[in-house]
Structure 1
Amino acid sequence: MNSLVFDSNDLSLTEDFLSRAYSRLRIGHSGTSGIRTRIRREAMPSVTVDELDFNYEMSYEVEPLGKITLCTVHEGTIADNTFHGVKDTYGPGDIAVLAPPEQPYSGRVCSTRYNAMMMDTYLLNQVADAEPSGAPVRLTAHRPHSPAAARQLKCLITHLRDQVLCDPLLREEPLIVSASAQMLAASVLAAFPHSARTDANAQDRNDAHTLTLRRALAYIDDHAQEPITIADIAAAAHVTVRALQYAFRRHLDSTPTAHLRWVRLAHAHRDLRAADPGTGITVTSIAARWGFHQPSRFAAAYRAAYGVLPSHSLHT
């Protein structure tokens, strides 16, 4: 988990760097003067967010990346981005899938500044059920299904980049890394058409009984300190993700994620009460240990649950 910076006016160095940072590729440019390539990467396991700035026109041919890769254009144009059956051009404000993980793609960047978010494909299966055939969850379109969904996803990617990935302390906390990756995967599924099951079927409804709920609650209580996923909880309860969600909704009017967050909040409460302020421990460090990376939201949730600010619990 680290940051990476590249800044060069040499095309051969740029091609070599891009091949190592992404996948084997070829780039083309008609001139050699006045060009500059700047790239900055912020990364954590399974997710990277890159800021790329090309002040010139460059063609590219890229071998399959093996990851879900979204681009968000800030300035300029990504022209004629092409993969199997699709050819599209993206301008400022657009967010789109550059290509399915298993397919090569090509196109041109035209004095373009954009970000590229790459995530491991298995993350989608951590938050959603696969197709009945058992095939992994996949995106079935390269553009979001609505402008509102696109805006929400762009805001989340920006937040992840600016609030989590750029903070060395936060991106070293396992619970924050896990929660951030799951939130990103869920937001990608909310924004793009996909192959995951979205409705509970008859078997899911039958499985959403109190025994399922008890198994899930016990697993959460025993593993709240670990970077568990919704898929992990469903597996422990011997049901699908949809059945698990249906059980929580039916019996608790809640979600597995919300309950896990509540349990972790309770652990943070106990740690705050037990901590010795003289050791230099802080509210922020305890919150981060339990997966809360936004101090203001942690404070609001804590006050709603316990009637005081977390700083009061730490010092009393």
Structure 2
Amino acid sequence: MPIDDAMPVRLEAAGTKPEEAEELLTELYGGKLHVAASDAPFSYRYAAIGDETMTLRTSKFGGRLAGELQPTDEVVVQWLQSGTSVLDTGGQPFQMTHGVPVPLLAHRSFAFEMDTYEQRLVHLSRPLVERVAAEQGADVSGGIVFDPTMAPSEQAVRTWHNTVSLVSHTLRESTPGRLLHAEMARLVSASLLEMYPQQQTGNEAGSGASRSAHVQAAVEYVHQNVHLPITTTTLAKHLDVSLRALQEAFQRDLQTTPNAFIRRVRLERVRQELRAADPTTTTVRQVASAWGFAHLGRFSQQYTAEFSEYPKDTLANT
């Protein structure tokens, strides 16, 4: 049962045959995988819930799993709860420690060997993680870079587990709307970057702390209130800073203007909704208008420039 990236993800599978588990995981992840029984009777269970920006997953094997996976457009974070797992990301192989999350390198293949284990995983959209990192002042011109052999701080690991627990409870107990799910995905991404910080840009390193705080507060406010008629003026008033100071801070830290940032976030929300909508009952005009784009032609140009795809094609491919 493949996971459709354009639809909400809800998957549960379990069984007692190694060949079924191997077929399932190969369909989900690709690559070269091998599943085999160990001394005890073989069994497996796999579950996933979320959407294309973030899925929370569990994997439990009463057997052995080994293989090599290729790069994807996702950042995968995994942590063992029991059993053993050895990872090889192209350097020195290392054994995972129970409870310590390890991010897999999205831009590199990796090999692994696991035996009689239970683990948790979070799959995050790599563009989302890169955007959150950039908003924090990181240099992502070369993409996100993780060192999976680096031990994160105990406090950062606790924050990660608390964050994932909160998000998991919300997903299990209800079906959150698109705004809440998007904010939860951003929160998990920020928690990941707290454990494995990215290199900061020279501009960010040399800027004043108060200015960086203003930009971060503005970014958070936009994501939480982008469904409202926000402008650069109202944003500056909310932060109690001058319009010019806000514009200069955005240009320095994010290399964009506040208006362009607001527009990009709204375009992202439109894309999320189009990818989850039913094309037989939803139109591009309806979704665009709901997110504040009154001129359909201009919106279509902006959307295509941002995502290299016409909005009607995004909707048609759901």
TM-score norm. by structure 2 comes to 0.60
Q: Confirm or deny: 8 A CA contact 2:9 2:55 kept in the other structure.
A: no
Q: Confirm or deny: 8 A CA contact 1:71 1:114 kept in the other structure.
A: yes
Q: Which has the larger radius of gyration?
A: 1
Alignment partner for residue 124 of structure 1, among 125, 129, 133? 129
How far apart are 1:28 and its partner, in Å?
4.0
The change in CA–CA distance for 1:116 and 1:198 in structure 2 (over 3 A counts) is: farther
Alignment partner for residue 181 of structure 2, among 174, 177, 183? 177
Alignment partner for residue 114 of structure 2, among 109, 124, 145? 109
Q: C-alpha separation between the residues in 2 aligned to 1:54 and 1:100?
A: 23
Aligned to 2:193: 189
How far apart are 1:8 and its partner, in Å?
1.7
Alignment partner for residue 66 of structure 1, among 37, 61, 73? 73
The change in CA–CA distance for 1:63 and 1:135 in structure 2 (over 3 A counts) is: closer
Q: C-alpha separation between the residues in 2 aligned to 1:190 and 1:198?
A: 19
Taking the TM superposition and a 5 Å limit, the aligned residue runs for 1:1-316 are 1-29=8-36, 34-78=41-85, 80-97=86-103, 99-129=104-134, 134-163=141-170, 165-170=171-176, 173-197=177-201, 200-202=204-206, 204-205=207-208, 208=211, 220=222, 224-225=226-227, 237=247, 239-240=249-250, 243=253
Q: C-alpha separation between the residues in 2 aligned to 1:161 and 1:32?
A: 33
Q: C-alpha separation between the residues in 2 aligned to 1:2 and 1:73?
A: 22
The change in CA–CA distance for 1:196 and 1:44 in structure 2 (over 3 A counts) is: farther
- Report the AA paired with residue 71 of structure 1: Q
How far apart are 1:143 and its partner, in Å?
4.0
Unaligned runs of 5+ in 2: 1-7, 237-245, 255-318
How far apart are 1:15 and its partner, in Å?
1.4
Q: C-alpha separation between the residues in 1 aligned to 2:140 and 2:114?
A: 38
The change in CA–CA distance for 1:147 and 1:82 in structure 2 (over 3 A counts) is: same
Greater alpha carbon shift after TM alignment, 60-69 vs 15-24: 60-69
How far apart are 1:24 and its partner, in Å?
2.5
Aligned to 2:298: none
The change in CA–CA distance for 1:147 and 1:178 in structure 2 (over 3 A counts) is: same
Aligned to 1:253: none
How far apart are 1:5 and its partner, in Å?
0.4
Q: C-alpha separation between the residues in 2 aligned to 1:93 and 1:198?
A: 34
Aligned to 2:266: none
- Report the AA paired with residue 198 of structure 2: H
- Report the AA paired with residue 100 of structure 2: D
Greater alpha carbon shift after TM alignment, 137-146 vs 174-183: 137-146
Alignment partner of 1:40: what SS?
Answer: strand
Q: C-alpha separation between the residues in 2 aligned to 1:67 and 1:38?
A: 22
Greater alpha carbon shift after TM alignment, 142-151 vs 46-55: 142-151
Unaligned runs of 5+ in 1: 245-316
CA RMSD of aligned residues (A): 3.7
Q: Confirm or deny: 8 A CA contact 1:74 1:114 kept in the other structure.
A: yes
For 1:251-278, what per-residue CA distance to the aligned partner results, in whole angstroms no more than 9, with x for missing partners?
xxxxxxxxxxxxxxxxxxxxxxxxxxxx
How far apart are 1:141 and its partner, in Å?
4.1
Alignment partner of 2:204: what SS?
Answer: coil
The change in CA–CA distance for 1:145 and 1:108 in structure 2 (over 3 A counts) is: same
Q: Confirm or deny: 8 A CA contact 1:207 1:239 kept in the other structure.
A: no
Alignment partner of 2:142: what SS?
Answer: coil
Q: C-alpha separation between the residues in 2 aligned to 1:18 and 1:112?
A: 15
Q: C-alpha separation between the residues in 2 aligned to 1:128 and 1:34?
A: 44
Alignment partner of 2:93: what SS?
Answer: strand
Q: C-alpha separation between the residues in 2 aligned to 1:55 and 1:177?
A: 33
The change in CA–CA distance for 1:169 and 1:102 in structure 2 (over 3 A counts) is: same
Q: C-alpha separation between the residues in 2 aligned to 1:77 and 1:141?
A: 16
Alignment partner of 1:166: what SS?
Answer: helix
Q: C-alpha separation between the residues in 2 aligned to 1:58 and 1:128?
A: 33
Q: C-alpha separation between the residues in 2 aligned to 1:198 and 1:151?
A: 30
Number of paired residues? 227
The change in CA–CA distance for 1:224 and 1:6 in structure 2 (over 3 A counts) is: same
Alignment partner of 1:135: what SS?
Answer: coil
- Report the AA paired with residue 89 of structure 1: Q
How far apart are 1:239 and its partner, in Å?
4.9
Identity of aligned residues (%): 14
